[in-house]
Structure 1
Amino acid sequence: MRSLLNMFARPKAEYHSLYEGVVAAAREADWYRGGKVPDTLDGRFAVLSTLLALTILRMEQGEEETVRASVHLTEAFIADMDAQMREEGFGDPSLGKQVRSLVGALAARVDRWRPLAESDRLEPGEALTDAVRFSLYRYDPPEEAAETLVTEKLRRFHEGLGGASDRKIMAGQLA
């Protein structure tokens, strides 16, 4: 039975580059310096989960293999959050609840960005501003210049995903 399941499952190592590519994009200092996203665990999570949401939405538009890989990307996120929470000292009784909360936050971002991401370009307007504020600032935006910088970074990230082949995305070549 185990060998039968292995025929359908890809080794998780194949998705390491993809997840690491999103993490690398989330670590760019501009989010926190120029964009004024708080450089805290919550702020870093906000950037990571927003970029993951945009990546997942792009992958859902790809070939069947890419759509399946979006599930593995989410699994890599869950495994990383579990490991991070353990490092922060969360114990088993509360760990599941905390990780579920983080997964819920990712799902909320996917839902918030879905209507915007369906176009080739994130169009300026109230919906985009609302999504940026919800995802990164929790409706407490910084000055206009910082919010504009973050919005443009998100637009470029989204456009880069839209212009990349499925193969490049799955290899973690997101820039």
Structure 2
Amino acid sequence: MKFLKTLFGFGPDPREDLVPLYIAIVHIAREPAWYAELGVPDTLDGRFDMVAAILSLVQVRIEAEGAPGRSAGTYLTEVFIDDMEGQVRQIGIGDVLVGKHLGKMVAAMGGRLTAYREAIADPAALEAALVRNIWRGEPGPDARPAVVAERLRAISARLGTTAWGDVLAGRIG
């Protein structure tokens, strides 16, 4: 019976278990200090880039969990995509263009995940990746990419010592 409920869409959605984690990611990414003190642009792109940065760190932590993390990583990505779809619709992107915008956002997220995964252990490489992604290669006078990199490395270190159950529950702050 459970199989039939799941088959026909009546079963629980496993992505729902990852919503608290995603909310925690967005909460960290929207902390005012990133924007007011560290010069991250408080724009749609800047906010996307901070969500992508924090989400990337969490995905790296999930990957470190091995097999138990595989489905969690997939479901978390799906929650991210669902949120981004809602965001592009909210800003007025019509049905015809939603898929195109989502495709670009998912590709951007994938690129950032790769860049941050490779750079997290090297402060200079992480700073360069942040300048390239957050500031599009041109940090303004208020930008503090070295401090952003330092704070992201601290978040990554905390994630590395956070129990798996706490990560899944969104207790990452």
TM-score, length of structure 2 as denominator length:
0.88
Q: What is the alpha-carbon distance in structure 1 between the residues aligned to residue 69 and residue 164 of structure 2?
A: 6
After the TM superposition, which residues 12-23 of structure 1 pair with which residues of structure 2 at under 5 Å, given as runs?
A: 12-23=15-26
Given that 1:19 and 1:172 are in contact with CA atoms closer than 8 Å, whether structure 2 keeps it comes out as yes
For structure 2, the residue ranges without an aligned partner over 5 or more in a row are none
Give the paired residue count.
169
Given that 2:56 and 2:116 are in contact with CA atoms closer than 8 Å, whether structure 1 keeps it comes out as yes
The Cα shift of 1:2 comes to 3.6
Q: What is the alpha-carbon distance in structure 2 between the residues aligned to residue 150 and residue 42 of structure 1?
A: 16
Change in 2 beyond 3 A, CA 1:137/1:28: same
Given that 2:23 and 2:170 are in contact with CA atoms closer than 8 Å, whether structure 1 keeps it comes out as yes
The sequence identity of aligned pairs, in percent, is 34
Cα RMSD after superposing both structures: 2.1
Which residue of structure 2 aligns with residue 140 of structure 1? 138
After the TM superposition, which residues 1-175 of structure 1 pair with which residues of structure 2 at under 5 Å, given as runs?
A: 2-3=4-5, 5=7, 11-117=14-120, 122-125=121-124, 127-143=125-141, 146-175=144-173
Given that 1:116 and 1:128 are in contact with CA atoms closer than 8 Å, whether structure 2 keeps it comes out as yes
For structure 1, the residue ranges without an aligned partner over 5 or more in a row are none
Q: What is the alpha-carbon distance in structure 1 between the residues aligned to residue 13 and residue 67 of structure 2?
A: 14
Q: What is the alpha-carbon distance in structure 2 between the residues aligned to residue 9 and residue 71 of structure 1?
A: 16
